[in-house]
Each structure stands twice: as structure tokens, then as C-alpha cells.
Structure 1
């Protein structure tokens, strides 16, 4: 094994694991051990917009959304109800290679368990994150887009522990699948996605007892994975990467800006079918303004409407970014404008109901994401990163690192070539074996 190289890499994405969770999580038995034996940062900067599928694609490609092409969880589907929208589920929608594409030429095996945007990939053992919509069958959809025999085996063994998409059952199922895969398949690269914490924040707010309970469950699952590596006899040659993809911010108002565009005739009904010249695609704390091609009048009208809404303040718009400004955030090239929400506000596509909808005060506080990675006065919005195991320095603290650094660091850990993207390998976390450190 060469300098900085491990034979096995376990990548565990804890969705929504952010800086504000560090104090509690870092004191729990399993994560604290990885921290003590590894390198860590509480200043992992995400990409814009901070949505799960956008960020996870950056994690495995090492490039920003303007290059990899996954700009939202969902492709643009105007007027389609959220529950019926398709997502960016398939690998062929990513415009650049992913880390798992490079393993075959090195004769290495990969596994993916509910990792976003991995339908129909080159992953050897693949249970993709994919959902049936409309009249589709969930089981058949997974089998068609994942590794059929592998998925059937996992369902037979552990399907009874899952209750649809409800937590904590889904992440318990994911962990059981990962443990079995580690022990039976010994993949050189395992990618797994855990969602319990993200769900807790969305439903109960960032400071709730439910969030603290989810973090405790997270640590227990991490312990199960560490134990599986030990039982597989590969501990000495295994590296763990544990990281979050975004933080969340508590929200009190949902803003439905398409209603403003409809009032001005930019969204309208024609021949009993809804049409649009300008349309807002909500992304939680951000939103895309889509414009009909070559419709300069619609662009002028939409920008004027949104600038007026900014002046009125009550609509919760912090800023309307134009294409030149979006360049610095590496946002999707085809979109000319994006909206950023103020703290406490989020954007939705829906045309039904009031433009400004207050959250139900009788229910738990809710939270969301999508905002700029550098949201002012929201230090807790940064993500957490821990690398621990084979050839990683012990108790080594990193400063600010970028989400685009994750893929090249994975490649460096496994000792494989990867195309030159926007990030860099975090060489400083690796022991220099040749120098004896």
C-alpha cells in the first residue's frame, strides 16, 4: 500500500449534519473516536443552492453545479405537484465522471446505498435512492435502476425493518444493508446516505429534542458500521469519511411568488391548460426564475415584479441575483436569475393559497435549506467533515474546506486517478508513509 492509500473507503453522508450539531455529536462515543484518530473540519463549505442532490453530485464529481448539471433535486416541471415530480435520479443526467466510474479500470469494487443520482450507474452493488411516482411500482423501479440480485437479497433480509420512507426505520434499514454489504462484499468504496437528521430538522426545527435524538441514533449507526469493518477483517486498511451536505435554518413563512407572476399575466390559462412566460422554481431558501426563451418582455416584467417585491419587504426576498453575480457561486449556466430568501423565509412553486403563508404556530418549528453556503450570521449552516482510519493523521483540525475537495480526496485515499475538477485532494490529512510520519 502506497503513501496515503487505503484499500477500503466508507463514505457516510449524514444529510444536514452541520456545524451547529458538532458540540453534541463530537462528544458521542463513536464519532469522538473517529475524530481522535482522524482529521476533521466544522467549516466544510457547500455549493449553491444547498440542496441534497446538487451537493451529493458535487461530492462524487469534484465540480460545481455549473459543470455537473444537477442544479436542483428536481428537473424543471412547471405546474406539476411536488409529490408527482420526478427527481434527478439517473447517472446519465450528470455531465462529468463520478468517482465510482473510475474504479473499474483499477479493478476495484463499489457499493452505493440510497446515494442520490445513482440510478443506472456503473456501481457494482447498487441500491439507488429512487421513488415511485404516479402509478409506478416501487420495487420494480429499484430493480430496473439498481443491481437487481443485490437489491432483492437486501429486501429479503431487511425489508421488514423499513416502513416506507418513515424515520428512523429507513436509516436503520440503510445501516443494516451497509453492514451486510461490508461483511459480505467488502467493497473498496461504499457510498451511503442517511436522512434521519435532515427529516428531524425539516419537521421539528434545528434546535428540537427530535434533532438531538436523531444525532444519538446517528452515532449508534456509525458504531454498527465500525463494528462491521472490524468483523470483516479490514479495519487496518479502511478509511471512514463522515460528512454533511448542508445545514438548515428555521423558517416561519412560505412565499409563493408565482402568484405575483400570475397576477401580471406571466402565468395564465389557455385552452384549459396552464402556460407560463416566467416561472419560479422554489429551492427552499433559494429559487430559480425561469424565462421563456427569447421573451425579453417577460424578462423585463418579471424582474420588475420581483424588484418591487424586494422593496415591499414582506415577501422575504433578500436579493435577486443576475447571471453575472451567479457566476461567482457556480450556479447553473442556463438560468439568468436566482432569488435568495431572508432568514425565516422559504420559496415554493405552488400557485394555491396566499402568497405569504405563515407556518402553523401550533405545530413544531420547521426548517429548510437551499440558501447560500455563506448565509450571513448563520455560522451553524456550514457542514461537518471527519476522515479517520488508514493513513489519516490523528486529531488533526482543518480550517475551511470546499465540497469540491471531497471527490479528489476520495481518489487520493484509494490511490486512483481522477479527472481534474474544481477541487483539490486534502493532502494535509494524510500521513506521509515514506517519511515515516
Structure 2
């Protein structure tokens, strides 16, 4: 059996009408089961969600609470990310696949550096003067990556789109033809990039969706050319929605004004610090500093009452337990619609993007926001045809992959989606 998982980053319910009218996705739907109500996990960040996809557990168990480990005062472009498999605290479906003597491959799959994937081109980024090619080779499968680069690298232009997703798709087609792995994990990013840059309802977003349909067609043809169409399921999954943003809010400025963030001897210090997750933010407190926690909470409570700071609600530990948030976090803030949070300390606290003539959208919000659910399609032999599904949970993906591949992976928080099987 072969399963191809295509993570279609930011493919959410608002994109469904256009996407399902396009020829290749329509063919998948004719031979598959689908839902526009796949619920993500909190915060709805790519690395957090993708780790849930392959582990079948919530972030409080798998440990990937954000795209980035906590790195106060380091600019976002210079930050380390959760690039490496060893940050995940639980087994993954691709580990289980290997244990069953099956093969797994990954192309730009988040949090897969130095993992058990046999054919691995991980999503890692060069920061602070690193060499991108060397970083990929060190943390992936060197011969596999070199082969892909030699054959397809000419179509890529760094991380610019649509070239990056075109390159990844060519690599997926090549991997299907040459390696026929039992499990192939592919991460395609153009739609997410387009929403961030141009807003959720833009010409660029529509063009990205149309290009994506062509990529799905290329992968479908590769399956046929490899002669494995009779035992291959294709799964297309959105990881989160996005919401349009007018205001960016720098709440750390408020902590700075209260002395909870300060500069001493040319070095920045913090007693309390808000790590932005886009539509949410984690409140970090220096260990044991109860006074700082009380002061920071007072700052946030005051900001909650002031309309301009864009705080929808303050989430305390009892609510975070229900949302399966990382256990060490005692407080989060959630942004109002039209707002998001930004770590930076520069003034002003509030940036009006519309006044700056900028379009922007982002994610990280609570997963049950209206219009924010993700799309899911499973298509191929043994799957019900043209079959609509109800609400699904992101934790259900990994155990369902296990069931398709004959690998028991039912130890986690999710369930096998038995209703998709014919």
C-alpha cells in the first residue's frame, strides 16, 4: 500500500468553492471522501499542527508548542525553528512505518530534520550566515537530496514562490517514480505565503489555488506512471486557516513600560515576555518570579479593557488544559478578529497596516474561529467515492494513516476515520 500526504498549507474552508471546481481536485473528490470542517490545534501554527498530523497527539504531549523555541529579543529572521525530529517527545507515524519494514519519504516536512525518514529533504532554513545547501544535507538524506538538486534545482529560486512549490512537486513526482515509498509526506507552501502577503481574498490567492491544482495533477500522473494507482491513496490536508489583519499589536511595549522588560549594561533583560503566535501569544515568566507574573497579568487585564490593544480574551491554565496547550504555559492572550500580535519592542504599540497601505493575513488563532476550519480529502482505492464527511480532528490523521498502511498507531489522542473506508 502507498499513501501520499500532501499538506496544502493554509487550505481552509473559504478556498473550497474555487478548489473543488478545478479539474484535478475534482477528480480526487469523485474517488474520495472529504470535509471542509477539519479542526486544527492551538495555536494554529504550521509546525505545531504538522507535528500533530504525524503523531496523533495534541501539543501538550508532543512538545512542539510553536514554530520557534522561545528566543526573546532575537529578530524573527534570525531565530532557530523546531527543525529537528528529536524535539518531538512521542513516536511519529513515519517511525512506526520504518519499524514495520516499510519506507517513508518526506519533502520539506516540518520538524523532520535528522529523522527516521528513509528519503528525507527536511524543511530547514539557513540563519545567521549558515549555508542552506549544507544545512539540508546535514539534516536530511544526503544522496537523495543531491540527486533532487541536480535534477530539479534549476527550477527553484531560493524560497520564492511559485518556484519553491514547483520544485517540491517535481521532487515528489521523482520520488514516486524512482522510490515508490509506502508513505510520502509533502509540504506545499505557496497558498500560505500568498495569504500572508496579499490577504485571504486576493488575486494572488486565487492564482496560487489554480497552480496548486496543476501540482496535484502532476502527482496523480506520477502515481499512474509508476503503476501503483490501484494501491495508492492521496490525502490532501489543510493545516490552518488565515484571517485578515488590519492592526499589529506589540504588547511587549506595555511590559517594557512597566519595567518587566529592561535594558541593563547594553543587554536586554526580561521578567515577563510575550512570545507572539500571530493570533495568540504566550506569556513567559522567569521561573519563580511570582511578582512579575502578577504585574504582567495586571498589565494584560488593563489592556483587555482598552479596545485598541486588540485582546479578545486572556486564557488561563484551566482553559489552556482544555486546549491541550504546552503544560509550562500558564497564560495566553487571543487576538480579536482584525488584530494580531508582534514580539517586537519598537514603538508604536499599535501599527495600522491599512494606513500603511499594506495587506496582511495570519494564523495562530483559536481553531474554532468562524470560517477557520481546514479542508481534508482522502482519495483512492478502498475510500468511499464522492463522500462528504462531517467535522474531523487533526489528531485523527496519524491513526488513519496507520490503518491505511497496516500499522497500528492508535495509542494517541485521535481515532481512525473508519467512516472514509468503503
The question of a shared fold, defined as TM-score above 0.5 by the shorter chain, is answered with yes
Residue 314 of structure 1 aligns to a residue whose secondary structure is: helix
Alignment of 1:84-99 (within 5 A): 84-99=78-93
In structure 2, what is the equivalent of residue 435 of structure 1? Answer: none
Distance 2:389 2:358 in 1: 35
Per-residue deviation at 1:363? 3.7
Residue of structure 2 aligned with 1:237, choices 221, 231, 253:
231
User: Distance between the aligned counterparts of 2:360 and 2:82, measured in 1?
Assistant: 25
How well do the aligned residues superpose, as a CA RMSD in angstroms?
A: 0.8
Measure the CA separation in 1 of the matches of 2:206 and 2:39. Answer: 23
Among 102, 111, 124, the residue aligned to 1:130? 124
Q: Distance in 2 between matches of 1:53 and 1:144?
A: 20
Task: Pick the aligned partner of 1:170 from 164, 167, 176.
Answer: 164
Query: Counterparts in 2 of 1:97-108, with a 5 A limit?
Result: 97-108=91-102
1:17 maps to which of 11, 16, 28: 11
> Structure 1 residue 384 and structure 2 residue 384: aligned?
no
Q: Once the two structures are superposed, what CA deviation does each residue of 1:237-264 show, in whole Å capped at 9, x if it has no partner? A: 0000001000000000100010100000
Superposition deviation, residue 365 in structure 1: 2.1
Q: Which residue of 1 aligns with 2:397?
A: 406
1:6-405 matches, cutoff 5 A: 7-361=1-355, 363-375=357-369, 378-379=370-371, 381-405=372-396
Please give the alpha-carbon distance, in whole angstroms, between the structure 2 residues aligned to 1:199 and 1:208.
Answer: 12
* SS of residue paired to 2:169: helix
Q: Does structure 1 conserve the Cα–Cα contact (< 8 Å) formed by 2:85 and 2:115?
A: yes
TM-aligned CA deviation for residue 364 of structure 1: 4.8
Q: C-alpha separation between the residues in 1 aligned to 2:403 and 2:158?
A: 37
Could you say what secondary structure the match of 1:335 adopts?
A: coil
Indicate which of 398, 401, 406 corresponds to 1:415.
406
Secondary structure in structure 1 of the residue aligned to 2:308? coil
Q: Secondary structure at the match of 1:350?
A: coil
Shift of 1:361: 4.0
Deviation per residue, 1:4-58 (Å, 9 max, x gap):
xxx0000000000000000000010000111111100000000000000000000
Q: Write the distance in 1 (CA, Å) between the matches of 2:96 and 2:210.
A: 35
Partner residue of 1:426?
Answer: 417
Question: Quick check: 1:205–1:364 contact (8 Å CA) kept in 2?
Answer: no
Q: Cα distance, 1:271 vs. partner?
A: 2.1
Q: Distance in 1 between matches of 2:391 and 2:175?
A: 33
Contact residue 5 and residue 236 of structure 2 kept, 8 A: yes
Alpha-carbon distance, 1:105 to partner:
2.3
The residue that corresponds to 1:4 in the other structure is: none
Tell me the TM-score normalised to structure 2 length.
0.99
| TM-aligned CA distance change 1:394 to 1:374, over 3 Å | same
Q: Deviations over 1:167-201 (max 9, x none)?
A: 00000000000000000000000000000000000
Secondary structure of the residue that 1:275 maps to in structure 2? strand
| 8 Å Cα contact 1:43/1:383 also seen in 2 | yes
Tell me the number of residue pairs that the alignment of Structure 1 and Structure 2 aligns.
Answer: 422
Question: Following TM superposition, where does structure 1 have runs of at least 4 consecutive aligned residues deviating by more than 3 angstroms?
Answer: 360-364
Contact 1:162/1:173 (8 A) holds in 2 = yes
1-structure distance, mates of 2:409, 2:38 = 21
- The C-alpha deviation readout for 1:399-421, integer Å capped at 9, x for no partner, is 00000000001001111122510
Q: Distance in 2 between matches of 1:419 and 1:100?
A: 14
* Closer/same/farther in 2, CA of residues 112 and 321 from structure 1, 3 Å limit: same
- Give the distance between the partners of 2:168 and 2:69, measured in 1 at CA: 26
On the 8 A contact 1:182/1:229 being kept in 2, the answer is yes
Contact 1:12 1:193 in 2 (8 A): yes
- Counterparts of 1:353 and 1:298, CA distance in 2: 22
